[in-house]
Structure 1
Amino acid sequence: MSLPEVVFGFGAHSDIDEGPELLRMAEQADRDGLDLFSLSDHPYLGRRLDAYATIGFVLGRTRHLSGFANVTNLPTRPAPMLARAVTSLSALSGGRVVLGMGAGGLWDRISDMGVPRLSPSDAVDAFEEAIVLVKSLSGGGPPATFRGRHYRVERIEPAPVAAPPVWTGSVGRKSLAATGRVADGWLPGHAADWLSERYRESRPVIDEAAAAVGRDPREIRTVFNFPGRITDRPLPATRDRDGRWIGGSAGQWVEELTGAVLEHGASGFMLFSPDHGSPDPVTLGRWAREIAPSVREAIAKENG
């Protein structure tokens, strides 16, 4: 299964007692035609649902929706085992999985899990190696041998399943460059959008690194984590004094997102509530049934 050129999804941060509500929302999103759902991956928080166990369960309850960790806590999930997990999920779901990857941010908590602490530079090196290794352990072919600084495998049989798309949450220049070299998509950190300084400074780093290794930068998606309110009436201003999106009516959302695609090259949007948590069911329904179809229609009309 391949994702559409422009994808619409929603993000959730689900505690264990919120599991039934997450399942209801995923099933609603699946019926309403959304493309994706995402879960955060913080395994050091005991109250949280495990991201990969939950993704597998939700994929089993849906027919069309794809899932991913936004983003995988890589230091706690070694790349060879992560490759087995995502190719298995892909095989069982008909390709409905994306691999969201991060180098690891909260190292004080990560190291509390018994994981050796890495310097920021080493963490990015391990992150790039992991993406390469996951892809080498996918797609069939002869046994793979990989000898990096952080990962080593000897003659391991790849899964006979294509690697899922790899989207990263890269922030620093070194990590952004790694995204350009080896990843398939980018989720800008801190919910930065296409009008932000972070985006304007970061995306060229990805593009230059991609071009330097002979890749077409346009093949690397930018998918935005996008919090905001959907209101019944238009708001006087859809952005705050700092230029961050706060929301508006369905029409204001459609205008904003259509412009993001046509003028700034956006290729996806993951809806979050204004507090960066899970959207409520009513908001999710409006996102899926009103806004996403209208943006798709406007894009199709502009593209002829």
Structure 2
Amino acid sequence: MPDLGHQVRLGIFPTPGAADPQHAVELGVLADTAGIDLVTVQDHPYQAAHLDSWTLLSWIAARTSTVRLGLNVANLPLREPVVLARSVATLSLLSHGRADLGLGAGAFWDAIVAAGGPRRTPGQAVDALVEAMDVIRQVWDGSGPVRVDGEHYRVVGLHAGPAPAGDPALWLGAYKPRMLRVTGRLADGWLPSMAYLPPEDLAEANARIDDAATAAGRSPHDVVRLYNIGGRFGRGAGMLQGSPADWAEQLAGLVLEHGMSTFVLATDDPGQVQTFGQEVGPALRELVDAERSGASAGDIPQGAGSAVPTGPIPARPATDVVDTAPAGITPTPDDGTRLTGELAWDEAARPTGPAPQGGPTAYPAQQLAAPQHLIDIHDHLRTELASVRDVVDQVRSGHLHVGQARSVINTMTMRQNNWTLGAYCESYCRIVTGHHTLEDRSVFPFLGRREPTLQPVLDRLHEEHEVIADVLERLDRALVALVDEDGYGQAGSEALDELAHSVDLLTDTLLSHLSYEERELTGPLARHGFG
């Protein structure tokens, strides 16, 4: 089967081990800033060595901001479809639409029976799966009573809902002919594992899915192809046994020859997660994009009607900027409000990228995904900053003491890992720093190579990152000083004033920076992506 043109995505598949409950969570947090799109966990409710999958996914959702989350795959015989549908919908609502569902008919029947579940024949298991999918979709629809009068599941008159945020995908883990036909007829995605279905068997299975989709009046394109993979980075021969470049080339072959587009790496190694997201992912996407566009992998991709300008970039004051955003993208404007008047940079002296000739350039929707993703990330940062300000206001008004404030901040959805700015930066400081570090190390160098005349803007953005890091450290010291001064009781007025001023300073610098970055980079990102 040829390439289906789906977006190339990366996922991870950590073990939900109960012996080290935080490890899978930390891998999910790492994935959120390492270029990974999807975090999934297996679901074996009878396995004493595993955490409960839904509780674990909820915890990961609260610690992340961009990755999608899903079971890989849910054990249907031990997950009643109504409860399962509501669990997915709830996670979707709490995570702002980041939940999906992988579903399996069941396996390890002795263990399922030991846990109180039914024992089903292969035929019964598929029948039950089809009924369950109907139940789940009706519950998600949220518009009327659920009515499924099946042999295995009978739901009559239940009020549908809650409706999830967005549109969760429903994938099937399928291998046998009948399950593959069900996948083509009913599912949003196919999720096999390389360990059970090697690459040389993908063509035959894909053909069954495609035929079933066509017979049901669907397009094969309607079924996204995901693939659970495993391997190691090194010098070995064979599938996924070599360098990141080898991985990228082999996975590109699966995209272009078999239509697979989402690759979910089974790993518990943080180093593998980083290499997969930061090295394999960019190289894989470049290979696929080059093949799809008919260019060589080294060519510079250009947006429709766009051209890379040459010559120096003139520095213009912020009051004399030209709209460089692509049509269909709306950067967040800077309203000029300043709470402190202490910005460490001259906003009027910021360099500005060349404006496109003839006004904002129109790009296809696929190319607008990158600049929109940047704005979405920034919107999360703005939302979390507002939450930080609210927590500090509650401390000042006496509704929260300092210990409670730090506890609230440390459980915010933007909390990240592996950034050590201090005690407070267990949370908001880390996501800002993680975002900026990823830009400095990966995105900015890539854009600079693609558009050399953009370099003054990129250098300025990097300098502002360093200023913001200093502001974050000041905020960290202010909150730590409150605890040092008065423990978990009433804080002194001077310490509270310094904390409030630090939050105001962060608000001024960060919001100014985010607006400037969106104004200058949405066009280049539409032309070239993140790299």
Q: TM-score normalised to the size of structure 2?
A: 0.52
Q: Residue 137 of structure 1 aligns to a residue in which SS?
A: helix
Q: Paired residue for 1:33? A: 35
Q: Give, as a single letter, the amino acid of the residue that structure 1 aligns with 2:142.
A: G
Q: Distance in 2 between matches of 1:14 and 1:142?
A: 36
1:283 aligns with 2:272: yes
Q: Paired residue for 1:221? A: 224
How far off its partner does 1:147 sit? 1.2
Question: Are 2:185 and 2:218, in contact at CA under 8 Å, matched by a contact in 1?
Answer: yes
Q: Paired residue for 1:79? A: 81
Q: Paired residue for 1:44? A: 46
Question: Are 2:76 and 2:103, in contact at CA under 8 Å, matched by a contact in 1?
Answer: yes
Question: Are 1:194 and 1:264, in contact at CA under 8 Å, matched by a contact in 2?
Answer: no
Q: Residue 98 of structure 1 aligns to a residue in which SS?
A: strand
Q: Residue 67 of structure 1 aligns to a residue in which SS?
A: strand
Q: Distance in 2 between matches of 1:156 and 1:76?
A: 20
Q: Distance in 2 between matches of 1:12 and 1:18?
A: 12
How far off its partner does 1:142 sit? 2.0
1:99-121 deviation line (CA, Å, top 9, x unaligned): 00000011111011111211110
Q: Paired residue for 2:249? A: 255
Q: Paired residue for 2:263? A: 269
How far off its partner does 1:196 sit? 2.0
5+ unaligned residues in a row in structure 2: which ranges?
1-5, 294-531
Q: Distance in 1 between matches of 2:255 and 2:41?
A: 24
Q: 1:11 aligns with which of 10, 13, 16?
A: 13
Q: Paired residue for 1:298? A: 287
Q: Residue 217 of structure 2 aligns to a residue in which SS?
A: coil
Question: Are 1:129 and 1:150, in contact at CA under 8 Å, matched by a contact in 2?
Answer: yes
1:210 aligns with 2:213: yes
Q: Distance in 2 between matches of 1:255 and 1:206?
A: 25
How far off its partner does 1:146 sit? 1.5
How far off its partner does 1:91 sit? 1.0
Question: Are 2:42 and 2:53, in contact at CA under 8 Å, matched by a contact in 1?
Answer: yes
Question: Are 1:170 and 1:176, in contact at CA under 8 Å, matched by a contact in 2?
Answer: yes
Q: Residue 199 of structure 2 aligns to a residue in which SS?
A: coil
Larger radius of gyration: 2
Q: Give, as a single letter, the amino acid of the residue that structure 2 aligns with 1:46.
A: A
Q: Paired residue for 1:88? A: 90
Q: Give, as a single letter, the amino acid of the residue that structure 2 aligns with 1:99.
A: L
How far off its partner does 1:133 sit? 1.4
Q: Residue 70 of structure 1 aligns to a residue in which SS?
A: strand
1:58-207 to 2 correspondence within 5 Å? 58-159=60-161, 160-161=163-164, 163-189=167-193, 191-192=195-196, 195-197=199-201, 199-207=202-210
Q: Distance in 1 between matches of 2:211 and 2:170?
A: 19
Question: Are 2:194 and 2:230, in contact at CA under 8 Å, matched by a contact in 1?
Answer: no
Question: Are 2:27 and 2:268, in contact at CA under 8 Å, matched by a contact in 1?
Answer: no
Higher relative contact order (CA 8 A, sep 6+): 1
1:244-274 deviation line (CA, Å, top 9, x unaligned): x2410011111111222122211110112xx
Q: Percent identity?
A: 36
Q: Distance in 1 between matches of 2:200 and 2:20?
A: 33
Q: Distance in 2 between matches of 1:246 and 1:9?
A: 15
Question: Are 1:185 and 1:221, in contact at CA under 8 Å, matched by a contact in 2?
Answer: yes
Q: Per residue, is there more helix in 1 or in 2?
A: 2
Question: Are 2:12 and 2:264, in contact at CA under 8 Å, matched by a contact in 1?
Answer: yes
Q: Residue 278 of structure 2 aligns to a residue in which SS?
A: helix
Q: Paired residue for 1:242? A: none
How many residue pairs match? The answer is 286
Q: Distance in 1 between matches of 2:177 and 2:204?
A: 9
Q: Give, as a single letter, the amino acid of the residue that structure 1 aligns with 2:151.
A: R
How far off its partner does 1:28 sit? 0.9
Q: TM-score normalised to the size of structure 1?
A: 0.89
How far off its partner does 1:41 sit? 0.8
Q: Paired residue for 2:397? A: none
Q: Distance in 1 between matches of 2:16 and 2:48?
A: 11
Q: Distance in 2 between matches of 1:192 and 1:200?
A: 14
CA 1:97–1:24 in structure 2 vs 1: closer, same or farther (change >3 Å)?
Answer: same
How far off its partner does 1:192 sit? 4.8
1:219-268 deviation line (CA, Å, top 9, x unaligned): 1111111100112xx44x2x2xxxxx241001111111122212221111
Q: Paired residue for 1:275? A: none
Q: Distance in 2 between matches of 1:7 and 1:17?
A: 30
Q: Residue 303 of structure 1 aligns to a residue in which SS?
A: helix
Q: Give, as a single letter, the amino acid of the residue that structure 1 aligns with 2:158.
A: I
1:5-30 deviation line (CA, Å, top 9, x unaligned): 22101111221122222122111110
Question: Are 1:193 and 1:224, in contact at CA under 8 Å, matched by a contact in 2?
Answer: no
Q: Distance in 2 between matches of 1:189 and 1:287?
A: 17
